[in-house]
Structure formats: C-alpha cells, structure tokens
C-alpha cells in the first residue's frame, strides 16, 4: 500500500463520513479536510506510511479527487463557499470499492497491531520468516519470477516437495493462514501455504516472458477454502436452525448461497430440532471437498445437509468414522 493510496482513501472517507472525524455534514471545506488529514498524521507522526497525508495542497487534493472518480467512479463535488460533498446517488458501494475499504482497514489493523493491542484483538496468522509480503505482492504485480523451495505436508499432495521457479499469481488468506497461488509449466497452478513449509523463497529480477493471466474469483468460484479438485460442483441443499439462520444469512457460506426458505418461526425461546417450523433452507453451488465438510461441521447440529444424496452419504460416513473414536 502506497502513501498516496492511503491519502486518497482518507480523502474519500472524510468527505463521505465527516461526522467520524468531528466534522458536520454534508459539506467539508478544504481547510477542514486538510485539518483532518493533518490530525491523522499527528497521531501517527513516526509512521512513514502516513507521510504523504501531509502533501495535501489544493492542487494535490484536486488530483486525488480526479483519481477517485477514475478508479472508483465516485464524483466528489465542490460547492463554492460550502465545500466538498457527495450526492447519495453518486456513491455506489460496488463490490470492488467494498473490497478496497475492507482490505485497507484490515491492512491498517495489522499495521497497528502492536500499538492497538489493548483495543483490538486480531486473529493469529502464520507466516514464514522467509516471506516478505510486500515484496511478494510487488513481484505479482510486476510478473517477476520467484525461486521457491516448498516442503509439503500431508495435505500437499501427500508430502509433495516442490523446488522450482514459479510465476506468483495471487495471495489468499483463509482460516488464519496465507497461501501463495503460483504457476510453473511442470506442475501448473499450485497453492503453497506461506508458513514453515517454505524452506526458501527468492524473488528474482527476471520478468516472466509468457505470463499466465489469473482471475482469483473465477478460479475459486466453486470452492470453499483453498482446494481445487476434479470434483463436479453441485447444488447442495442445507437446512439451518432458526437461531443460526441469521448468522449464515449475514455471513454466507459461499458467494453462490441462495436462501430458498426462511424459518416459519424465526425466533423461539426453546429449540426443538424435531420442529420443522424452526428450519430454514439454503443452497450452494460448490465442489463437495473435505474443506466443504469441515465448514459444515463448524456449525454442529445447527445445520444439516438435505441433498444431493451422495453428499449426504459422504457426511454420514464422515460422522460415523468420527463417532467411532469415542
């Protein structure tokens, strides 16, 4: 993340939500905007990440507003003698803009993790000491090749060891771990966990001559987790008990999730799982990998797979094998 990007992020946030920065709506004058940016710099005066927020002349702000309009299609207007403002109809929270906001805020949380530790608890993630995330992201953007020595565990194609040159394609965080998706002509697209399995990772200055184009959303569109298999994606119908239905509705199991029936009795003081009125139903279009079953098991008896029959049978077999432990 560059300092210029962070400045544009704060310019948009301050003008869109001035009350969060002690300003009144709907207008933000240039002086108020400059003061809010300077205040953020003062609170982080020893942090170089914020140094460009001090570059906030009218000319720079004008250029930032043009960039915001170009990148995010948001028109920030200026009314003489009043200030900057955004019309409600001009502010569309697209999926791309929402992702920018969420990832910027997540980055700032991690960046300030130590200073903010008494206010915020962040999930533990596992990263190898051999990995420089910023340099690796830069390598992806510039399509530079990397040399990697990866000592796989059981989940990595049964202890597969990989030592080769790859084109890095994407970094994905899931279940408190970071994964690098990379391409090599011998193994194809391969996912590697950026933890102690990384024996070494060297970023070269060689640019890939025939780079592979990669679309993360398309590649993982039928997956839950990091696994890509040869399994056919199917519509899986799942019933969800009322007290957990709201959680799954607000935090979908997968982007394909469709609610097909809401619980008739959404709020009940007591839970009777034999009462059909407490069950809602949804469906997902996913590959039924073991990561999918792990996700379903997280919800205990609050969810149950209804169809297709093969997926139901696979879950029953898994549960019977687990119960045999006890």
Q: Where are the domains of the chain?
A: 3-92, 133-219, 234-323
Greater model confidence, 124 or 305: 305
Spatial separation of the C-alpha atoms in residues 160 and 7, rounded to whole Å: 44
Give pLDDT, residue 50.
82
In this prediction, residue 125 carries a pLDDT of: 61
Residue 120 has pLDDT above 70, yes or no: no
Q: Which fold has domain 3-92?
A: Arc Repressor Mutant, subunit A (1.10.10)
pLDDT > 90? residue 240: yes
Distance CA 42, CA 54 (A): 10
Q: Is the pLDDT score of 128 beyond 80?
A: no
Band of pLDDT at residue 171, cut at 50, 70 and 90:
confident
The model carries a pTM of 0.65
Across 98-107, 268-277, 279-288, which has the greatest mean pLDDT? Answer: 279-288
Question: With pLDDT > 90 as the criterion, what percentage of the chain qualifies?
Answer: 24
For range 104-125, the mean pLDDT: 65
Are 168 and 182 within 8 A, CB to CB? Answer: yes
304 pLDDT band, cuts 50/70/90, is very high
pLDDT in tens, 254-269: 999 999 999 998 888 8
According to the model, what pLDDT value does residue 200 have? 81
Q: What is the pLDDT of residue 322?
A: 92
pLDDT of residue 263: 92
pLDDT at 23: 85
Note the residue count of the chain.
Answer: 326
Asked if pLDDT for residue 122 goes beyond 70, the answer is no
**Residues 6 or more apart from 171 whose CB is under 8 A from it?**
133, 136, 137, 140, 178, 179, 180, 181, 194
State the average pLDDT over residues 17-32: 86
The pLDDT, as a whole number, for residue 262 is 94
Structure-model confidence comparison of residues 227 and 189, the more confident one = 189
Bond prior to 308 in cis (omega within 30° of 0) = yes
Rounded to a whole number of angstroms, the distance between the first and last alpha carbons of the chain is 50
Band of the pLDDT at 121, cuts 50, 70, 90? low
- Average pLDDT for 149-169: 82
- Those residues whose C-beta lies under 8 Å from the C-beta of residue 144, and which sit 6 or more positions away, are 138, 168, 203, 204, 205, 206, 207, 208
């Amino acid at each position: 993340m560059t300092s210029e990007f962070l400045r544009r992020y704060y310019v948009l946030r301050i003008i869109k939500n001035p009350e969060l920065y002690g300003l009144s709506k709907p207008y933000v004058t240039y002086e108020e905007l400059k003061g809010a940016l300077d205040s953020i710099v003062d609170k982080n005066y020893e942090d170089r990440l914020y140094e460009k927020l001090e570059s906030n002349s009218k000319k720079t702000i004008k250029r930032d507003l043009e960039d915001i309009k170009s990148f995010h299609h948001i028109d920030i207007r200026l009314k003489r003698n009043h200030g900057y403002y955004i019309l409600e109809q001009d502010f569309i929270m697209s999926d791309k803009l929402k992702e920018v906001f969420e990832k910027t805020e997540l980055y700032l949380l991690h960046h300030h993790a130590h200073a903010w530790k008494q206010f915020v608890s962040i999930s533990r993630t596992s990263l190898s000491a051999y990995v420089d995330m910023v340099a690796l992201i830069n390598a992806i953007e510039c399509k530079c090749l990397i040399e990697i020595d990866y000592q796989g565990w059981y989940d990595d194609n049964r202890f597969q060891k990989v030592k080769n040159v790859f084109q890095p394609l994407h970094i994905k965080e899931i279940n408190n771990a970071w994964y690098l998706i990379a391409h090599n002509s011998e193994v194809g697209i391969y996912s590697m966990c950026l933890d102690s399995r990384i024996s070494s990772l060297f970023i070269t200055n060689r640019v890939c001559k025939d780079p592979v184009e990669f679309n993360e959303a398309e590649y993982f569109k039928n997956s839950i987790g990091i696994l890509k298999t040869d399994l056919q994606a199917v519509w899986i119908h799942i019933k969800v008990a009322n007290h957990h239905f709201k959680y799954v509705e607000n935090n979908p199991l997968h982007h394909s999730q469709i609610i097909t029936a809401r619980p008739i009795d959404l709020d009940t003081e007591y839970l009777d799982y034999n009462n059909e009125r407490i069950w809602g139903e949804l469906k997902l279009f996913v590959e039924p990998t073991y990561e999918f079953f792990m996700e379903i098991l997280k919800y205990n008896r609050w969810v149950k797979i209804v169809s297709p029959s093969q997926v139901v049978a696979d879950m029953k077999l898994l549960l019977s094998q687990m119960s045999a432990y006890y």
